[in-house]
A and B are shown apart, each in its own frame.
Chain A
Amino acid sequence: MTLFHERWRRRVSLLAAGVLEGAEREATLHHLDACAGCREEQAAVENVLRLVAADPLHREAPTLPVSALIARVEARLDAGPQAQPAQPALNWRPVLVPLAAAAAVVLGVTATLFRTELPGAGGGPIPPTVAVAPSRFDSEQIEVSDDVLRRLERNLAREQTARYLNEAQDLLVTVAASLPICDRAAHRVDVSDEARRSRELLARRSLVDLGSDDVASVRPVLQDVEQVLREVAALDPCVRPADLTAIQREMEQSRLLMKIDLMTRELLG
């Protein structure tokens, strides 16, 4: 799609959203008559908006009893500025203390794992137990079983992989959706940031897949991501939109973004 059509794309998107008016609306409708690509664009955007209109959230009747709200706001004001809505005193949600305690243990163990080299990363055996010494209780030691350590290792691998995929997805969405213009006269778009970020992600790729079976099912998606990142990394900083077409088509045909989305959600539970 040329920059000329990038402008129409924006108008078509706004037309479908029902916010284009006057001469701009007329011009867009007129252009649509003669532009098959723009009609495809219009259909795609309308599909998105139909999906959003079908979102069950629209049908959920907001039921917020005002009397209860007033009481809570009064209580919150009485409690003073330091009180936060998510705190237990206000009872919107169950207390998360057990989770916080568990998280503290997890963080402590994770920090220890990093200090003592991550088991599995170097192929070495996992020690039978690890003594974790939280700084507040120097005299006490928490014994951590093999099982817990393996679980932590697995969780760490999944979280690292999910984070990596998330970052890659953000980058690829930009490549697929819209990019800033770097040379209006020559009809070129700026991909310097995307290329740089792709190189950074490729450099970090080896840190993600630790050879663990726990992320084995993600490996094909990671390989596809790596392939596209290589192509983006190899781009010149200022390219013609047509130069991106092959990459965009490849992503669309492999449904890469959808796969990343699914894998990330699975990894994070």
Chain B
Amino acid sequence: MGRLAQGDREALAPLMERHSQRIYRIALSYLRKPDDAKDAVQETFVKAFQHAARWDRSAEVGPWLTRIAVNHSIDLYRRGRRRLQSEEPLAEGDHDQRVSTGDPSPERRVIGGQIGDRIGAALRALPEKQRAVFVLRHYEELSLEEIARTLDLSLGTVKSSLHRATQGLRVRLQGLRA
């Protein structure tokens, strides 16, 4: 990191070799789209290089990079959501077939649905902080202390966020059994 702070680009390669897979997993868990996750990893290391001088030498690199990745994932997700709202009006045929048929009850369709899709939708509906805390705990298996350090939150806030996220998911996944 010292070399990186002095603008030495060659120092990026070992940093990426060591941390890129973990950052990718976190970004993928948050964004759930491989292309977006790759964008997030790329930007995480670009930002790490650009802001290396600000890095506190007493801090661990891993949590610092994770925080950049989570923040960037949140930005990317917001941009994606805006893009979806503004650029993707529904295709004409789609809706006619799927909404107006009068077939299947929602319950029936859920049973046949994919768990991953439901979980993705439920996670996407959570407030950003809750979602980040939940992902770091249940997809990256970080301890509460690590999450607090990574996201710069108090331990109490992490506990509350985790609890609220779990309750939010519980409500949104009701009717679905593991």
**Residues of A with Cβ closer than 8 Å to B?**
9-10, 13-14, 16-17, 19, 44-45, 47-58, 60, 62, 64, 66, 69-70, 72-74, 76-77, 81, 85-86, 90, 92-93, 96, 99-100, 102-103, 106-107, 151-152, 154-155, 158-159, 169-170, 173, 176-178, 213-218, 252, 255, 257-259, 261-263, 265-269
Residues of A within 8 A of B160 (CB): 10
Q: Mark B83-127, 1 if CB is under 8 A from A, else 0.
A: 111111111101100111110001101100011101111100100
| Pairs of residues from A and B, 7 with the lowest C-beta to C-beta distance, nearest first | A50-B178, A85-B39, A177-B167, A155-B89, A103-B87, A262-B106, A56-B116
Q: Tell whether A72 pairs with B42 under 8 Å between CB atoms, given A96-B87, A151-B92.
A: yes
A169 vs B49: C-alpha distance in the bound complex, in angstroms? Answer: 41
Cβ-closest chain B residue relative to A150: B92
Q: How far in angstroms is the closest Cβ of chain A from B133?
A: 10
Q: How far in angstroms is the closest Cβ of chain B from A50?
A: 3
Q: Tell whether A13 pairs with B167 under 8 Å between CB atoms, given A66-B20, A70-B13.
A: yes
A152 vs B98: C-alpha distance in the bound complex, in angstroms? Answer: 18
Q: Are A73 and B45 in contact (CB under 8 A)?
A: yes
- What would 19 A/B residue contacts be, using CB atoms closer than 8 Å? A13-B162, A17-B138, A19-B137, A49-B138, A57-B28, A57-B32, A62-B28, A69-B16, A85-B40, A86-B76, A103-B86, A158-B90, A214-B100, A217-B101, A252-B174, A255-B174, A261-B125, A266-B98, A267-B95
A2 vs B16: C-alpha distance in the bound complex, in angstroms? Answer: 50
Q: How far in angstroms is the closest Cβ of chain A from B34?
A: 8
Cβ-closest chain A residue relative to B103: A217
Q: Tell whether A214 pairs with B95 under 8 Å between CB atoms, given A73-B16, A177-B167, A258-B106.
A: yes
Q: Are B38 and A64 in contact (CB under 8 A)?
A: yes
A253 vs B130: C-alpha distance in the bound complex, in angstroms? Answer: 26
Which B residues, 119 to 148, have Cβ-Cβ distances below 8 Å to chain A?
119-122, 125, 137-139, 143-144
Q: How far in angstroms is the closest Cβ of chain A from B3?
A: 15
A19 vs B177: C-alpha distance in the bound complex, in angstroms? Answer: 23
Q: Are B35 and A57 in contact (CB under 8 A)?
A: no
Q: Tell whether A159 pairs with B169 under 8 Å between CB atoms, given A64-B20, A66-B17, A217-B102.
A: no
Residues of B within 8 A of A169 (CB): 125
A158 vs B99: C-alpha distance in the bound complex, in angstroms? Answer: 10
Q: Tell whether A255 pairs with B106 under 8 Å between CB atoms, given A45-B166, A57-B32, A70-B16.
A: yes
A177 vs B87: C-alpha distance in the bound complex, in angstroms? Answer: 33
B25 at the interface (CB under 8 A from A): yes
| A-B contact number at CB 8 A | 203
A75 vs B2: C-alpha distance in the bound complex, in angstroms? Answer: 22
A64 vs B25: C-alpha distance in the bound complex, in angstroms? Answer: 10
List 6 extra interface pairs beyond A47-B178, A48-B170, A86-B76, CB under 8 A.
Answer: A13-B167, A52-B169, A56-B116, A64-B21, A152-B89, A267-B95
Q: Using C-beta atoms within 8 Å of the partner chain, give the interface range for chain B.
A: 35 or more
A17 vs B135: C-alpha distance in the bound complex, in angstroms? Answer: 12
Q: Are A178 and B109 in contact (CB under 8 A)?
A: no
Residues of A within 8 A of B114 (CB): 56
A152 vs B89: C-alpha distance in the bound complex, in angstroms? Answer: 8
Q: How far in angstroms is the closest Cβ of chain A from B84?
A: 8
A269 vs B116: C-alpha distance in the bound complex, in angstroms? Answer: 17
Q: Are B9 and A77 in contact (CB under 8 A)?
A: yes
B153 at the interface (CB under 8 A from A): no
A9 vs B162: C-alpha distance in the bound complex, in angstroms? Answer: 12
Q: Are A19 and B109 in contact (CB under 8 A)?
A: no
Q: Tell whether A257 pairs with B174 under 8 Å between CB atoms, given A69-B20, A70-B12, A85-B39.
A: yes
Residues of A within 8 A of B91 (CB): 269
A170 vs B102: C-alpha distance in the bound complex, in angstroms? Answer: 26
Q: Are B137 and A44 in contact (CB under 8 A)?
A: no
Q: Tell whether A269 pairs with B170 under 8 Å between CB atoms, given A47-B177, A178-B164.
A: no
Cβ-closest chain A residue relative to B159: A14
Q: How far in angstroms is the closest Cβ of chain B from A32?
A: 16
Cβ-closest chain A residue relative to B113: A262
